[in-house]
Structure formats: C-alpha cells, structure tokens
Structure 1
C-alpha cells in the first residue's frame, strides 16, 4: 500500500529503530511509546486489520507475530518479569495505522484497563 506508513517503513523509505527482522516480520520501537519498551511487530505483507486475517496463511503470520514477541521479550530481558501484548482492531478498538500490528509493552507494571 503506497499510503501506509508501515509499508513505507518496510520499504526503507521511512527509518525506524529495528529490534527484529526476518523475511516475514519487522519489529521496531514505537515513536510514541506508552511504556519504557513499546515495540511494534508487523507482518511485511500488508493486511489492514485483524478482521482481515481470514486464511490459513494469515493464521500462520499472526501466530508468528506472537512467537517473535516472546523472542524479543527474552532477548531484551523482560520475559520473566512480564509484558503486555495488544492488537487494536478498527477505529473503536483504537487502531490508528491500518496495517496489522502487535504492540509489545514492557518495563513497568501494567494496569487494567490498559494504560
């Protein structure tokens, strides 16, 4: 998608502070963090929202987002202490960028509701 900011990051036309990258996934620090660690984990293939995850291939990539989140948590040293994973879906769910992304939040105690 030419107007998607995450697609532009994937293409390299917008810089990011990468944490993880492979052929299917990119993870980078959020530029407006809400926790000491706020990492966005995205598929390199554009999928607008969680509601658009409809195929077996989509299920595999969604699962891989979760696996990568665990790897990042272990690598950065906060897996044992804990972290929060959040998908926002569509406007009322708080989604601002319409490219599926998983928020990985850590580095402080999380409250509920989310904050």
Structure 2
C-alpha cells in the first residue's frame, strides 16, 4: 500500500488518532501549523473531493464539522481554518481536510495566496457565467 493515508487508516502507520469510524479517520498532522491541527481523511481512498460519491459527502463533512468544533473547544481556540486541496499543493494524493485551530494574532496570515480583484464587473460576470455553465452540465 503506497498511500500514506491509506496506511494510517489501516493502522499500518503510527498516527495520533482523534476519530476513527466507518466514514473517516482523523489524526494529528505530523507537521502542524499549530497544536491540534488535524487531517480528516475518508476511509476509502479517493484522491480529490470530486471523487467522493454523493452518499459519502454528507457523512464525511458531518465529521469535519464535529471535529472542527472539537478542535476549537479542545485547543481553547477562538476559531479555526478549514481547508482542502485538490491536486495542486496536495502532498498526499488522498482527499484530506485540514482543521487548524486559530487565535487572534497567531501569526498565520496570507500563507496561501495573494488576493486580487476582478478588473471590472464584466470580468466577474463572465467568471460567474462560466462556473454556472459548468454546474448546469453536471
């Protein structure tokens, strides 16, 4: 088994598990942004969010929701950052959601990307139209 997260789910890789049930395995990230930083992975190997079935999506994100509340409470955090990568910047090609405890002035700012603006309303409208068209075709 070459997938590190599949190894963790199978108990073949030592991780600090927080939740392990029929839908997910959640464990501490071995390189956390802050203590309590979790990775939530589906038990079944899927590479990206779009590979989850409709039936798997609800149970998966219900666990993410519960774990987010637990991270905030357990780590006495004022809030959290919840993120998922699809392909780009995904160091392990197995879907995983990061749940990171956050506090004011914790030093985490802009570590992902520079934010920009649309050139004008027409550019924004065109982008929205492209996404709507793709959504309608699914």
- Gaps of at least 5 residues in structure 1 are none
**2:101 is the counterpart of 1:106:** yes
**2:34 is the counterpart of 1:35:** yes
Relative to the length of structure 2, the TM-score reads: 0.68
CA drift at 1:35? 1.9
- Gaps of at least 5 residues in structure 2 are 114-138
Find the counterpart in structure 1 of residue 10 from structure 2: 11
Distance 1:62 1:25, change over 3 A: closer
More displaced stretch, 68-77 vs 95-104: 68-77
Distance 1:70 1:107, change over 3 A: closer
**Aligned to 1:96, what secondary structure does the other structure show?**
coil
Deviations 1:5-30 (A, max 9, x none): 10011111111011122222111111
Distance 1:62 1:46, change over 3 A: same
Relative to the length of structure 1, the TM-score reads: 0.79
Structure 1 vs Structure 2 CA RMSD: 2.2
Partners of 1:43 and 1:65 within 8 A in 2: no
CA drift at 1:56? 1.7
Matched residue count: 110
